[in-house]
Amino acid sequence: MYREKYDMWLESPYVDDELKIELKKIQNDNSEIEDRFSKELEFGTGGMRGKIGAGSNRMNLVTVAKATQGIADYLNESYSGELSVAIAYDSRNMSKEFASKAACVFAANNIFVYLFESLRPTPELSFAVRHFKCKAGVVITASHNPPEYNGYKVYDQFGGQVVQSADTIIEKINKVMLRDIKSCQIDQIDQFEKNDRIKLIGNDIDTVYINEIKKLSLNNNVDKNINIIYTPLHGTGNKLVRKVLEESGYKNVFVVKEQEFPDPQFSTVKSPNPEEISSFEIAIKRAEKSDGEIIIGTDPDCDRVGLVVKDHEGKYVPLNGNQTGALLLNYVLSSLNVQGRIPENGAAVKTIVTSEIGRDIAAKYKVKTFDTLTGFKYIAELMQKFEEKGDYSFLFGYEESYGYLTGTFVRDKDAVIASMLICEMAAYYKRNGKTLLDVLNDIYAEHGYYIDETVSLSFSGADAQDKMKFIMESFRENKINILAEKKISAVLDYKMGTALSLINGKTEKINYPKSDVLKFSMEDGSWFVLRPSGTEPKLKVYFSIKGKNKPEAVQVLETAKTEVLNLIDRLHINN
């Protein structure tokens, strides 16, 4: 079957010559042909992501056009009148070409396109969808995946990644045959002025977006001479992060020159991921030379931001997503509280694998905390429900994987907004004689010491998915009562939609989309979560432990990890 599909691509008039040349080079490599054609590149709930190359299981102009045609079919069947979409792209290989192809397909389907003239952050795409009142948006990005990858993310009319319409869109895409794809003849950005259904956008929308971000500033009376080191990690953040900091009055922003400009190979880092401390190695050296007080780094599509802070001994300490999120939430709410601007129906939103310290901080200011499944699209979905019902006012949302948002004009995690707030927060506390580490320790002293760690377990072989399924079902059926001498108080099963109290034995329904996730909660706010990856054979185990102090929390964490991982090992061996 895969060989037939390979031959079809070679003969098809809808496959471009460059892809055919690549395919001819593997004509005697049966395993490679099988890998490229044994299946379609999977279009998940938010889009698709894969290696760049020829084949139905690769990111290329054909698979991008096919996906775009399916989305165009969905839009034309779902809405009437003038339809529009917005498209953005990042610094990766083929991003510009994929964005151009998507624009052509939409235009040929009588859908007006707002296309960014050059690379832009993913959150600005979300903003553009809302600003232009589009029915959908597309961004070409693979976030912080390796250089050989690219991806295609789809946004709904509210500016969040698609959730409700995802299944219908996937169904439409799967029905598209290559002969069904419509496209315009001109497919290069520098010639799009000849197409009256494609409008190039850029600096004008940047200005509107940046002006909205500056309105989110909470304190102008801060020390704007603070020394800031910034690295865009070869991605899209360079222009707009620097612009918002400059227009906000920060005098000493030092950009890491080696990582300043777009580089699809991300040649200076092992991984362009601010969650990895290795990505900050050059930035830390730059900070040591410039007496940097904080270091911020944004990922290639600039929706995530990492933070490194200098302590009182001059050492640079990386903060994880839970710590940075707690600092930002505390800064936002404490500032609004001083200004008398916290509404009675204020809401903070976090994912189920994000530390409970945020709930403690929010409760101090009488702000309700909501939990969502993993993925910022669920936070965006809840924001839209708040807006439609008018029952809650969104104040802050975040996830442990370095994504943060305040304001409602963007519906995705936004590293441009977060970068501005992080710098303002650091400058504010500096004026008060404190570093961000001092403030974080103050938060721990008030609410208890929280420590978090995620362990990713890889499985191999054709039965890898079956192994993970067996482990999940074993934990589901044989519920743990005690972990690290702490009582488990509740088990939340997001696949079954239930919350079982181990204290009174009662089971309640929980209203979340179905997802194969188990959460074991303890009465003091500690928990651990089991979550298999939907795209690769990995089982993620999240731990969040609360202690009276750091030594206690560390000890409990190590014990909990040992007990859970040993149990998983035994299940793996016995399966």
Q: Is the pTM of this model over 0.85?
A: yes
Alpha-carbon dihedral sign for residues 497, 454, 121, 69:
negative
Residue 44 lies in a domain: yes
pLDDT of amino acid 187: 63
Location of structure tokens 């650091």: 426
Q: Is residue 379 part of a domain?
A: yes
Same domain membership, residue 285 and residue 356:
no
Given pLDDT bands bounded at 50, 70 and 90, which one contains residue 190? low
Same domain assignment for residues 60 and 194: yes
Q: Are residues 461 and 512 in the same domain?
A: yes
- Which residue range forms the structural domain that includes residue 149? 37-204
What torsion do the CA atoms of 552, 558, 560, 561 make, to the nearest 10 degrees? 160
Q: Are 398 and 300 in contact (CB under 8 A)?
A: no
Same domain for 336 and 300: no
Say what the alpha-carbon torsion angle 524, 309, 255, 265 is, to the nearest 10 degrees: -50
64-86: average pLDDT: 96
Q: Per residue in 2-38, pLDDT tens? A: 899 999 999 999 999 999 999 999 999 999 999 999 9
pLDDT, residue 184, reads 81
In a domain, 13, yes or no: no
Q: Are residues 295 and 362 in the same domain?
A: no
Rounded distance between C-alpha atoms, residue 407 and residue 421, angstroms: 12
501 is a catalytic site residue? no
Which of 27-36, 80-89, 402-411 has the least mean pLDDT? Answer: 27-36
Average pLDDT over residues 399-415: 98
Q: Which of 388, 413, 438 is the last residue of a domain?
A: 413
The whole-number average pLDDT for the span 479-486 is 92
- What is the C-alpha to C-alpha distance for residues 472 and 462, in angstroms, rounded to an integer? 18
How high is the pLDDT of residue 464? 86
Q: pLDDT band for position 44 (50/70/90)? A: confident
Domain boundary among 276, 309, 342: 309
pLDDT of residue 463: 85
Does 443 map to a domain?
no
Note whether residue 558 is domain-resident.
Answer: yes
Tell whether 192 and 114 lie within a shared domain.
Answer: yes
CA distance 208 to 217: 15
CATH code at 530?
3.30.310.50
370 vs 379: CA distance, rounded Å: 9
Same-domain status, 244 and 344: no
Residue 212's contacts (CB-CB under 8 Å, 6 or more residues apart) are 127, 407, 409
Q: Which is it for strands 518-522 and 316-319: parallel, antiparallel or unpaired?
A: unpaired
* 316 in a structural domain: no
Q: Does 49 share its domain with 172?
A: yes
Q: How many domains does the chain have?
A: 4
Q: Which CATH number characterizes residue 292's domain?
A: 3.40.120.10
Q: Is there a single domain that holds both residue 229 and residue 187? A: no
pLDDT at 196: 84
Q: What is the mean pLDDT of residues 36-58?
A: 90
Domain assignment present for residue 54? The answer is yes
Q: Longest Cα pair distance anywhere in the chain, in angstroms?
A: 71
- Confidence (pLDDT) at 87: 98
Tens-digit pLDDT profile for residues 264-275: 999 999 999 999
Do 65 and 187 belong to one domain? yes
Is 264 inside any structural domain? yes
The pLDDT assigned to 369 comes to 98
Residues 199 and 276 in one domain: no
Catalytic residue among 91, 143, 165, 544: 143
- Residue 469's pLDDT band, with cuts at 50, 70 and 90, is very high
Instruction: Select from 175, 204, 233 the last residue of a domain.
Output: 204
Say if residue 172 is in the same domain as residue 47: yes
Per-residue pLDDT tens over the stretch 502-539 = 999 999 999 998 999 999 999 899 999 999 986 678 99
Residue in this structure with the two tokens 């997503």, named with its chain if needed: 321
Mean pLDDT of 152-180: 93
